[in-house]
C-alpha cells in the first residue's frame, strides 16, 4: 500500500494508458472522474477530500474546494492554463501547483491554423450545405498576403506566427513581454489598438488577465479593420462576448474561430452565428499531445514528491 493518495479529477484521463499505470505504481488512486464532464464544486470536494496529490484539468479549484482537502500538497494540471485554480488559496495552504506547458504548443498551433482555414475557405458552411443538397458556391478568401495580428508572442504565439509567415502572411504582434529571439522583421506594435487596426486576422495567445478581464472589448473592437477575423484558442475571458456579438451583427467582424468561452461547456448566443466556428476547448487534445501531457503531469508529481523526500 502506497503512503500517498491521488485523485484524478480531470474530465478525461486514459485509465488504460502508461501515465495512469505509472501514477498507480507510485500512489494509491483513491478517486477518478469518469463522468466525462467538468466536476461542479461539491462533486470535486468529494473527489479530493482524502487526496495528497491531484491530477487536474480545467475544473475550478476555488478556495472552498482547496480548503476541503486538508492533506492536499500538489495539484498537477494537465495543460498550461492555471486560471481555473485559486493560486492565492493554494499558496496560503503551501500547495504546489504544476502544469505541462511543453506538450500543448504544436496541437494548439495546428488548431489555430485549422480554424483560420475553415473560416477563409468556408469549409463548415460548405459541408452543411452540400449535405442538404445545396451546391451553390460562395468564394473563399486567400490566406496569402494577409496581415496577422498576434496577441501574445510566447511559445504558442511565436509558432503560430512562424507558421503563418511561411504561408505568406505579414506578422505583427502585441506583447508587453517580448522574448529576445523574436524576429526583427515582425512588426511590434506599441499598443493593442494599433495592432487590431492593421490586422486582417487577429489571433489570441495571451494568458488570462487578472480578474478575468477582457482585452478584446467594445472599445477595441470599434477600431478593428472591417472584415476582420478573430481567433481565440487561449482563454474565453479574453474576449467580451457582447462586444463580439455586436461586431458580428454589424459585419465589422466577418468570422470568429473560438475554442474557448467565458463559461464552459458553452451554449450561448455565439452559436447562433453561422460565421462562428466553435470547438469545445479541444485545441490541445490530440492523441499524441494528450499522452505526453498526461505523462508529464504524472512525472511532475513524482519528481516533486521525490525532491521533498530527499
- Tell me, what CATH number does 84's domain have? 3.40.50.720
Residue 257 has pLDDT above 80, yes or no: yes
The single residue listed with the C-alpha cell 530527499 is 310
Pair 39, 148 in one domain: no
What are 228's strand-pairing partners? 253
Pair 177, 91 in one domain: no
Torsional class of 285: left (φ above 0), alpha (ψ -120 to 50), beta (otherwise): beta
Q: What is the mean pLDDT of residues 115-144?
A: 96
Residue 206 has pLDDT above 60, yes or no: yes
Looking at residue 309, what is its pLDDT?
Answer: 84
What's the whole-model pTM score?
0.85
Q: What is the mean pLDDT of residues 124-143?
A: 95
* Exposed e or buried b per residue across 249-281, where buried means at least 16 C-beta atoms within 10 angstroms of its C-beta: eeebbbbbbbbbbbeeebeeebeebebbbbbeb
Neighbours of 238 (CB within 10 A): 23
> How far apart are the C-alpha atoms of 86 and 212, rounded to whole Å?
12
Residue 98 near residue 77, CB atoms below 8 Å: yes
Catalytic residue of the set 37, 264, 288, 303: 264
Mean pLDDT of the chain: 94
Pair 222, 212 in one domain: yes
pLDDT band at 107 (very low <50, low <70, confident <90, very high): very high
Looking at residue 47, what is its pLDDT?
Answer: 96
Task: Report residue 242 CA to chain centroid gap.
Answer: 20
Catalytic residue of the set 281, 290, 294, 296: 281
> How far apart are the C-alpha atoms of 165 and 157, rounded to whole Å?
12
Residue 99 has pLDDT above 60, yes or no: yes
Residue 1 has pLDDT above 60, yes or no: no
Catalytic residue of the set 77, 122, 235, 290: 235
pLDDT band at 274 (very low <50, low <70, confident <90, very high): very high
SS3 category, 22: helix
Pair 120, 192 in one domain: yes
Pair 210, 274 in one domain: yes
Is there a catalytic annotation at residue 129?
no
Is there a catalytic annotation at residue 296?
no
Residue 80 near residue 101, CB atoms below 8 Å: yes
The single residue listed with the C-alpha cell 445545396 is 134
pLDDT band at 268 (very low <50, low <70, confident <90, very high): very high
Pair 199, 116 in one domain: yes
Residue 32 has pLDDT above 70, yes or no: yes
CB contact set of 44 (below 8 Å; sequence gap of 6+): 9, 59, 60, 61, 65
- From 1-5, 189-193, 238-242, the region with the lowest mean pLDDT: 1-5
For residue range 36-95, list pLDDT tens digits in order. 998 999 999 999 999 999 999 999 999 999 999 999 999 999 988 888 899 999 999 999
Pair 267, 125 in one domain: yes
Residue 254 near residue 227, CB atoms below 8 Å: yes
What are 232's strand-pairing partners? 204, 258
7/309: higher pLDDT: 7
Looking at residue 83, what is its pLDDT?
Answer: 84
The single residue listed with the C-alpha cell 479541444 is 282
For residue range 162-196, list pLDDT tens digits in order. 999 999 999 999 998 887 788 989 999 999 999 99
128/1: higher pLDDT: 128
Domain that holds residue 218: 105-278
Pair 117, 263 in one domain: yes
Pair 192, 242 in one domain: yes
Cell of 19: 501515465
CB contact set of 70 (below 8 Å; sequence gap of 6+): none
SS3 category, 133: coil
Is there a catalytic annotation at residue 303?
no
Pair 31, 169 in one domain: no
- Percent of the chain residues past pLDDT 70, beyond the cut: 100
Pair 11, 146 in one domain: no
> How far apart are the C-alpha atoms of 54 and 17, rounded to whole Å?
17
Q: How many domains does the chain have?
A: 2
Pair 45, 176 in one domain: no
Amino acid at each position: 500500500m502506497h503512503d500517498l493518495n491521488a485523485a484524478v479529477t480531470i474530465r478525461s484521463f486514459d485509465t488504460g494508458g502508461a501515465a495512469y499505470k505509472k501514477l498507480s505504481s507510485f500512489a494509491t488512486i483513491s478517486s477518478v472522474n469518469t463522468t466525462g464532464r467538468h466536476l461542479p464544486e461539491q462533486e470535486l470536494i468529494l473527489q479530493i477530500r482524502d487526496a495528497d496529490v491531484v491530477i487536474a484539468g480545467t475544473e475550478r479549484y476555488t478556495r472552498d474546494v482547496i480548503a476541503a482537502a486538508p492533506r492536499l500538497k500538489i495539484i498537477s494540471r494537465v495543460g498550461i492554463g492555471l486560471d481555473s485554480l485559486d493560486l492565492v488559496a493554494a499558496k496560503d495552504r503551501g500547495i504546489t501547483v504544476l502544469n505541462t506547458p511543453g506538450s500543448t504548443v504544436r496541437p494548439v498551433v495546428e488548431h489555430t491554423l485549422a480554424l483560420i482555414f475553415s473560416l477563409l475557405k468556408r469549409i463548415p458552411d460548405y459541408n452543411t450545405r452540400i449535405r442538404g443538397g445545396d451546391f451553390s458556391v460562395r468564394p473563399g478568401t486567400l490566406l496569402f498576403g494577409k496581415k496577422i495580428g498576434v496577441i501574445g508572442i510566447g511559445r504558442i504565439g511565436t509558432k503560430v506566427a512562424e507558421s503563418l509567415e511561411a504561408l505568406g502572411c505579414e506578422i505583427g504582434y502585441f506583447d508587453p513581454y517580448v522574448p529576445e529571439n523574436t524576429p526583427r522583421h515582425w512588426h511590434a506594435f506599441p499598443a493593442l489598438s494599433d495592432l487590431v487596426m492593421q490586422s486582417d486576422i487577429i489571433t489570441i495567445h495571451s494568458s488570462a488577465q487578472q480578474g478575468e478581464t477582457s482585452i478584446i472589448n467594445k472599445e477595441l473592437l470599434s477600431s478593428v479593420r472591417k472584415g476582420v477575423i478573430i481567433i481565440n484558442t487561449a482563454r474565453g475571458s479574453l474576449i467580451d462576448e457582447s462586444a463580439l456579438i455586436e461586431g458580428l451583427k454589424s459585419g465589422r467582424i466577418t468570422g470568429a474561430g473560438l475554442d474557448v468561452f467565458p463559461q464552459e461547456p458553452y451554449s450561448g448566443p455565439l452559436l447562433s452565428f453561422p460565421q462562428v466556428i466553435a470547438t469545445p476547448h479541444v485545441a490541445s487534445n490530440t492523441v499524441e499531445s494528450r499522452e505526453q501531457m498526461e505523462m508529464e503531469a504524472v512525472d511532475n508529481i513524482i519528481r516533486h514528491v521525490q525532491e521533498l523526500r530527499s
